[in-house]
A and B are shown apart, each in its own frame.
Chain A
Amino acid sequence: MSKLTNRDALKKVRESYKKAFDAEKRKIFVCAGNGCIASGSIQVYDKLAEIIKSKNVGCSLELKEEPGHPAGLKKGGCPGFCNQSVLVLVEPEGWLYTKVKPEDAEDIVEQTIKNGKPVERLAYKAPDGKLILKKDEIPFYKKQQRIVLDHCGKINAESIKEYLAVEGYSAFEKVLFDMTPEAVCKEVTDSNLRGRGGAGFPAGQKWGDTLKAQGSPKYIVCNGDEGDPGAFMDQSVMEGIPHQMIEGMLIAARAIGAEQGYIYVRAEYPNAVARLRKAIEQAEEFGLLGDNILGTGFNFHLTIYRGAGAFVCGEGSALMGSIEGRRGMPRVKRYRSTERGLYEKPTVLNNVETYANVPLIINRGANWYKGIGPASSPGTKTFALTGKIENTGLIEVPMGTKLREIIFDIGGGIRDGKKFKAVQIGGPSGGCLTEADLDMPLDFDSVPKAGAIIGSGGLVVMDETNCMIEIARFFVDFTKRESCGKCTPCREGTLRMLEILERIVNGAGKDGDIETLGELAVTISQAALCGLGKTAPNPILSTLKRFRNEYEDHIYKHKCTAGECQKLKTLYIDPQNCAGCGACAKACPVGAISQQDKVLEGKKKAYYVLDEKKCIKCFACKEKCKFDAVKEEA
């Protein structure tokens, strides 16, 4: 491919790829997202490709400029229904094959590619046993509205040609040739797009401020750090539709007059890094990135910067410090990054999903965008839905969708017939929502009123067997480890909070602990330097508010109602199951188990008993027992 040097050339190639793409009457997408790869999707793809080649089936493996075969096999982005992986999507019929294995490849080639018939046994099996073949008829998808992720899973994730075939880079083209930077900023402002990184700051305002700011050069930075445990939406965008995000960055660059951009990606996302790298190379090859883009004199270069494992680098000033080659420590914000950001120059820093929204807004207009979801936070939001829920995966819903719809309609309710208890939203900086919040609309304004935040969009659902204090301990342990140590409230405060929480879950909670926790939490949230410290107490504050009785049970009654805290359990030996082998007594490090004199009727040996007072609850006896005689009680 030689570089495109003007608008007509771009239009022409887009036209030709569209023709080739449309000529493929049937398209088979094997999910090449992180989850499906872990479940073996590459092996499924390879097997399909091998059969197609060896049997000379009329199916192309790569999009050509000229129309080729009537069918195409592609590695697609994540369609979202991750717990049914490996997923294979057949378009235009919209058949979704679930739990596909390499052994199924033969049938897919014979029936679907050759004869255009579905492989019905691979259809999704609903809990009531019904087979549902069409993706859009599966309850998981019914209430979703995929606009940002529309192409994710429906084009080859590794092909700029296919992105061009679905109108890719047309928004950038419009911005480059038909709009002034001011007009672009205005369109984004009018759309009321709010940053999807968590805080919901208006993106258009950020862009407008940077455009007006003095200083050069200006920078565009994309935050793809996504360190929230339990969140993977940005990863899915970077892996599934990398060009859409790059196009958003190009539009931002044009809008503020930047020539250099950085994508900061977590090191734990090797697939995302590889896809982005490939996408950047392709865009450079086509002349959509680099110098003198499409002959307009506009230059823009993109560099991928891999993170090195520091959650605090999700914070803007720490992230920029990291790109500058320093420790990722937040700065006191005397200036906004729109005035002095990266290398002290005006910088637009947005999150992956924010950039991926931009091409849609430019193409379809601010008014269209505002028509989705509530006016104060319009558009859709992607969430990573995980935890103790039937359907886990990546979802996209209009802002303002109720939690109840997400958990019970899309998520299919709680696993194993258990009861819903809470959902942790927004990761370690967020909070817990409970039964009482199920009818609250999820948007940037409503969720904070309930003491939580949307954050980047992680939703971890918990059932009755999850102890909320253990969850608070888990998050505080995380923020304590990830605290950069620069300011004392965060460095020392998180440690003190953790010590108290650890004591409570280990059954050594004291009178006054709840009050101390509350005081520490308020002080830290007011006094810490950056967002990490300020929000570190949120899991404690929200669980204290909603599950205070559990704290009291742990401290005063030495009881964990969820039955999760090991040290609060009681162990005993069931004489009926005990075979008298003595394995438990040998394993016990404190000699709490002894053999009785009495032999029960029908048994060969005398049974053992456990002295509850001596027991340190290490569970060594339970692990060793082959007869399921060591039981636990909450």
Chain B
Amino acid sequence: MTATATPPAAPPRAPHGTPDAKRSRPRRQTGRHLFLAGVSLLWLIPLLWAMYTSLRPYEDTAANGYLSWPRSLSLQNFSDAWAQSGLVHFFWNSVLVTVPAVLGTLFFSAAVAFYVSRFDFRWNIALLMLFTAGNLLPAQVLITPLYRLYLQWNLPGFLSDSYLLYNSYWGIIAIHIAYQCGFCTFVLSNYMKTIPKEITEAALVDGAPVWRQFFQIVLPLCRPAFAALATLESIWIYNDFFWPLVLIETGDKRPVTSALASLQGEYFTNPNLIAAGALMTAIPTLIVYFALQRQFISGLTIGSGK
């Protein structure tokens, strides 16, 4: 890899190149800033437009159109959407599903990645491919049989008031974990391969059992990768509405994203209100993203630095 990149340079060019690059730097930076700021603004316009819509009273936009100067701006739509739709309840449903699903996914995929990347068993690659390919299956391929399976699967009453996996939080959590493990295993196994084998070798020689290597050495070293995956998985699982649509029967067990769809049906005539409701559902993922942002990028370093 390095060999091709560093042939000894033609000597006369080398000293010349560096100051030249330095001199032209400030100007280039301005251009780059202009470009990046432009793209950023372009990317934000749709979101800002939705924000603007949500801040305006429906009567105003109905009379003057959306592309008009506002007569007044207020947070009224937000408080109306909050009060009328019972969003709190649906937020709580989302939390009940998202938190265990993300934690479970991270733990189990770390286990599989640990197994696949730290031990040389014959079926390692096959196992890794089975997990990775599983995540890549289109969800539509699974729905019919999965729906049937969930209807047949009995659960004790204290786990599910439907006595079935169908229409229970556990069912949603289970499919999320099974489905998302593939992606996380792929990323984590690449990450774990970059941890020098000597570290666990040493522990093994010292007689540390495998579970200690896993919990006390490998897991803590993977913390950046966990931060990155936790961000992505929280966003994906929280935002998912496909599985609850198929596997949850009663509306009041649905997470906030699919509940919003029904809000959209109910208040179809007031897009400003729906805009406010929709923007509110984005708040939790925004919080997760901003909280973990610092580690997010560094953790995603998919083993490319080796």
Asked if A and B are interacting partners, one says no
The interface of chain A, by Cβ under 8 A from chain B, is none
The interface of chain B, by Cβ under 8 A from chain A, is none
